[in-house]
Chain A
């Protein structure tokens, strides 16, 4: 491992910095005036739905996409107009992009061969990478003779052999089956723990982002919707978009009337006549008359229909038994809500149930979608 540079001890220093970058394709603006800092040694995930600009952002960092306006810095050096190969950045593509006519050994050593490294150096570094990624037995095979997981490892090896300062991953696990994806996720986490290199990872899969990243950047239509740790995004989403995007099943949103705000606690009137008390940020909430209450499915509990604690009542439309838990789709005066119950729930479709909500975990969003 010694030959591969790590960044131990450089935890909070900015490594990759995008300053007010914009990317336009004709009249379409893919990235709009975006500023982002990625710390040295961090694992940052760019998360968002298809078309939000996350891959474009990654490609701009890589240098594969010209920046229309703004600057990109690497270790404090402006690399906006620097060629991709000179940025000391390596990228793992969604399709792996392994050269089909080359063996694993040739694929891994390709960048070294282009750089004019001696045969001895190529061999040494290829073997070092192959050892780290457990590819030693497959060095003479071509990509077509490798499994999906092995191809993925070769793609990572090709990045690793260059001793890059920053690794970029563009949805690298999306072509793998569910089981292999979990396995490769663990391997990527281990690799990051071993190398301590800066990694930027694009995904639309929130599970990947939540499990791998120590910082997630949620993107929405070319803008940063929120930056934070996985739990921060989950527990304290800055807006309705993040609240809805993070978490599966998605958060429930109930239209509510704001009746009072006092001491950072808002009292809201729920459809059906009950009230709930929700923590809010304070002053801004006072000016709002109507809002949406965001409640995650696991923060709603089933109670009997006439229970005094029931914030809502409704009829169970669908019951999904997942073994360890049960998802119930309940039609309420506030619309259909999803409730996560224990695995042994005996409720059936058509039953009338009460729903109590854990107020401490509920979030209130204004008409503009911002968290109150």
Chain B
């Protein structure tokens, strides 16, 4: 190297990237602030609802904005828990949502496996039927469901709430796609090992797709928990209500009492929120998959 090269006037090589880094930082900060503002706007109603449940009704209806309760109280929760059948509605929701989840996952996995892996007459017809059923919106079938369930004598029963929710073509489609992508060597290796189709499904295919099974189970559970229209139509007695429909009972029974209405809404949303917080990634994955299918 010459002396001239050693004493070059050129700026140090790090100078330009540093400028770019600063620009990036500024851009990043603006984006962060914008998303933060969006998050606040989105989260504020939730916060407002939650805070309201800890206020006495007299304070709620007072004019002005109070971001924190002046008189902190659990009275709304106490009233909802003591004066309504929310405990029973919780149990009903758990039973119906749990049953829907287990049956839908097992049934859809089995159907997806059969269509993906087995050769049988009418396989293509079954597949076409599943795709076709996917194109019919469930609310359009609600009258048929009601007539069918009443013919079964299942109106105002938990099984009557569960049965129409078992139509889950999207879940079958997702399972089929995932089972299609399992390399056939696994199947053949298991067949050589002596596995039958039930063992193939429950010991190879489902465990190998455990991630998607979890995701589908969670999203099915959340969907069943939040379902309103069908349980609202199918159930008339207070003892058979689920939480989502039960909320309306609180409102109907006690008139507009914001604190109580919001307290029961918070209690209803709690399990879903907990499930979402624990399995956030899986839920996102399932939603993206369903969205991809629905395209």
| Contact surface of A with B, Cβ cutoff 8 Å | 62, 64, 84-85, 89-91, 93-95, 97, 99-101, 110-111, 114-115, 158, 162
Contacts and interface: CB of A to CB of B under 8 A. Distances in A.
A64 B208 contact: no
B185 A114 contact: no
A114 B210 contact: no
Contacts of B183: 95, 97
Interface in B197-247: 199, 203-204, 207-208, 210
Interface stretch (B44-52, B186-194, B269-277): B186-194
Given A99-B208, A101-B207, A101-B210, A64 B185 contact: no
B191 A97 contact: no
Nearest to A87: B192
A162 B189 CA distance: 13
A114 B183 CA distance: 21
Contact of B191 (A64, A95, A100, A158): A64
B186 A99 contact: yes
Contacts of B188: 62, 64, 84, 91, 93, 97
B202 to A, nearest CB: 12
Contacts of B167: none
25 contacts: A62-B188, A62-B192, A64-B188, A64-B191, A64-B192, A84-B188, A84-B191, A85-B194, A85-B195, A90-B192, A91-B188, A91-B192, A93-B188, A93-B189, A94-B185, A97-B183, A97-B185, A97-B189, A99-B208, A101-B207, A110-B190, A111-B194, A114-B194, A114-B199, A115-B194
A94 B210 CA distance: 25
B195 A114 contact: yes
Contacts of A90: 192
A85 B192 contact: yes
A167 B60 CA distance: 79
A195 to B, nearest CB: 18
A100 B192 CA distance: 17
B208 A114 contact: no
Given A99-B204, A99-B208, A101-B208, A93 B185 contact: yes
Given A99-B204, A101-B208, A114 B189 contact: no
A110 B192 contact: no
B63 to A, nearest CB: 61
A114 B193 contact: yes
A97 B210 contact: no
A271 B149 CA distance: 92
Given A99-B204, A100-B208, A101-B210, A84 B192 contact: yes
A11 B210 CA distance: 48
A183 to B, nearest CB: 23
Contacts of A94: 185
A115 B193 CA distance: 9
Contacts of A85: 191-195
Given A93-B189, A97-B188, A97-B189, 10 more contacts: A62-B188, A85-B195, A91-B189, A95-B185, A97-B185, A99-B186, A101-B207, A110-B203, A114-B195, A158-B189
A292 to B, nearest CB: 41
A114 B191 CA distance: 10
Please indicate which of the listed interface residues B192, B195, B204 has the most CB atoms of chain A within 10 Å of its own CB. B192
B207 A97 contact: no
A97 B208 CA distance: 12
A111 B207 CA distance: 17
Nearest to A161: B193
Contacts of B190: 99, 110
Contacts of A91: 188-189, 192
A97 B195 contact: no
Contacts of B208: 99-101
Nearest to B194: A85
Interface string B93-134: 000000000000000000000000000000000000000000
A95 to B, nearest CB: 5
A177 B210 CA distance: 32
B210 A110 contact: no
Nearest to A106: B203
Contacts of A101: 207-208, 210
Contacts of B210: 101
Nearest to B191: A84
